[in-house]
Amino acid sequence: MERIIEWIGGCSRRAIAVGFIAALCFGGGAAAAGREEPAVSAKRHVAIVIDDFGNRMDGTEDMLKLPVKITAAVMPFMPTTKEDAELAHKLGHDVIVHMPMEPKSGLKSWLGPGAIMTGMSDDEIRKRVEAAIDNVPHAIGMNNHMGSKATADERVMRVVLTVCKERGLFFLDSRTTWKSVIPKVAAELGVPLVSNEIFLDDVYSEKHIAGQLALVRKFLETHDACVMIGHVGVPGKKTAGVLQRSIPAMQSSIEFVKLKTMVSPLPSDPLILPDA
C-alpha cells in the first residue's frame, strides 16, 4: 500500500481503496486491459570498470574472476592487449579501449604507446584513435588513460569523439580533471557518454579502497547508479581482494551491471554496440 500511495503521489487513502475495490468487482485496471505495471527494483546499479589491462599486471586474473561482470579497459599496443581483451570477452565482461592521453603532469613512460598528445594534428590524432580501436578486440567503448590535459582540450576531444561516433563506440569520461570538455563535446556530436564517479584505488591501501566503497554506498543514497574505477597493476591484488570480500554483502541492495547498460541511446540515433 505504501508503494501505491507513493506512486499515486497525493491521492487519499480512501480514493485508493475505492479504486482497488472497483478493480476487484468490475475487472478494471491495468490487468483487465491486458497491461502490467513495470516491476520496480529498489536496487541501485553499480558498474565496475577496471583500467590498465593489456600488460598482464598484478591482479589481472583476480579481477576477471570476480563474482560479477566488470568492464575491462584495455590499453592498446601492449604485450597482452589482445590476450586480455579476448579473455575478458570470453568470460562475459565488457571490453573498452583504455586510450592513453596527455596529462598535465607525470612521466611520459606512464602513458604507453600510441598516446594522444595535444600538440598533434587532427589527422595524427584520428590515425592513433582508429589504430587503437583496431588493436583492442571486442571494444564497445573507450575511456581515457590519464589525460588531464587532453580531455580539457576541445579540439583534441572533438577528433577523438568523432572517431568514436563513426565506429559506434560510447565514451566513458574517467574524469581525471574537473576541466573536462568531454560532456560538452559529446553532447554536441551526439556521442553516448557515461562518467566515472569514484576512483577506488587512488591510494594503494586496502583501508582506503574499503573507504571508497563506503563512499559508493553513500553516493547511492541519493543516486540510482554509480560508475567506479579500479586498476590492475600496483594496487590490483588489493583492489580485487577488497571487491571479492565486499561484493556479496553489497548485493543485498546493489545490482552490479555491465557499463553498457548505463549508456542511454540517443533519441535520434540509437546506439548499436559492437559484439553486444
**pLDDT tens string 154-199:** 999 999 999 999 999 999 999 999 999 999 999 999 999 999 999 9
Domains recognised in the chain with CATH numbers: 2-32 (no CATH), 44-262 (3.20.20.370)
What pLDDT is stored for residue 10 in this prediction? 43
What pLDDT is stored for residue 71 in this prediction? 98
Q: Are 73 and 143 in contact (CB under 8 A)?
A: yes
What pLDDT is stored for residue 147 in this prediction? 84
| C-alpha–C-alpha distance, residues 174 and 141, integer Å | 12
| C-alpha–C-alpha distance, residues 70 and 228, integer Å | 10
| C-alpha–C-alpha distance, residues 71 and 50, integer Å | 6
**What pTM was estimated for this model as a whole?**
0.81
What pLDDT is stored for residue 23 in this prediction? 41
Q: Are 212 and 198 in contact (CB under 8 A)?
A: yes
**Assigned C-alpha cell, 187:** 553532447
What pLDDT is stored for residue 33 in this prediction? 44
Q: Which residues of the chain have pLDDT under 70?
A: 1-41, 107, 264-276
> Which amino acid would we find at residue 215?
L
What pLDDT is stored for residue 170 in this prediction? 97
What pLDDT is stored for residue 264 in this prediction? 67
**Assigned C-alpha cell, 83:** 590476450
What pLDDT is stored for residue 273 in this prediction? 41
What pLDDT is stored for residue 265 in this prediction? 61
What pLDDT is stored for residue 37 in this prediction? 46
* Alpha carbon distances (Å) from 31 to 1, 7, 34, 37, 185: 18, 17, 5, 9, 45
| C-alpha–C-alpha distance, residues 18 and 230, integer Å | 53
What pLDDT is stored for residue 42 in this prediction? 74
**Assigned C-alpha cell, 263:** 549508456
Name the CA dihedral angle for 30, 35, 41, 47, rounded to a multiple of 10 degrees: -150
Dump the DSSP string for the chain.
-HHHHHHHTS--HHHHHHHHHHHHHH--HHHHTT--PPP----EEEEEEEEEETS--TTHHHHHTSSS--EEEE-TTSTTHHHHHHHHHHTT-EEEEEEEE--SSS-GGGT-TT-B-TTS-HHHHHHHHHHHHHHSTTEEEEEEEE-TTGGG-HHHHHHHHHHHHHTT-EEEE--S-TT--HHHHHHHHT--EEE--EES-SS-SHHHHHHHHHHHHHHTTT-SEEEEEEESSTTHHHHHHHHHHHHHHHTTTEEE--GGGGPPPBTTB----TT-
What pLDDT is stored for residue 13 in this prediction? 40
| Residue whose C-alpha is closest to residue 159's, from 128, 204, 194, 198 | 128
What pLDDT is stored for residue 41 in this prediction? 54
Any idea which residue has 555491465 for its cell? 258
